[in-house]
Amino acid sequence: MTDLSITSTGVLVGANASIEHGFAAAAITAGQVVYKDANGKFNLADTDSATAIVRKPRGIALNGAAAGQPLAIITKGDVTIGGTLTKGVFYYLSGTPGAICPVADVASGDYPAVIGVATSTTVLSVNIVAPDVVL
């Protein structure tokens, strides 16, 4: 398996979503996983980063933004992710910055962070759990 292939225009927030607003620290595309940096801006999260804060996902971007532009993220709830999921499978932060992978792709040396579980082939129920413990 590989990282989800997400079509940014297909990322749609569900009615039960918790949304946070802020600003992008770098170019971000809808569907990418972000963390909040020391300056309070959103940047791409990465499960195998040497920097602890980068391994702590905050949410999934709901829109694209260039550095300094406004960004909305979903922190909890349902999102149509714009890609194909396997119902019942848990999805994790990937070693590719900003990407999401299925549990089967979590590898030794990663700091696994659950992003959510697929409730259908298109909807991800976001509920981030990031214990910051290396495999």
98 Cβ contact partners less than 8 Å away, ≥ 6 residues apart: 28, 29, 32, 33, 34, 44, 45, 46
pTM: 0.96
Confidence of residue 46 (pLDDT cuts 50, 70, 90): very high
Confidence of residue 107 (pLDDT cuts 50, 70, 90): confident
The position carrying tokens 């549990």 is 103
Class (C level, CATH) for 8-129: mainly beta
Q: For the purposes of burial, counting CB atoms within 10 Å of the CB of 125, is it exposed (0-12), middle (13-18) or buried (19 or more)?
A: middle
pLDDT over threshold 90, residue 122: yes
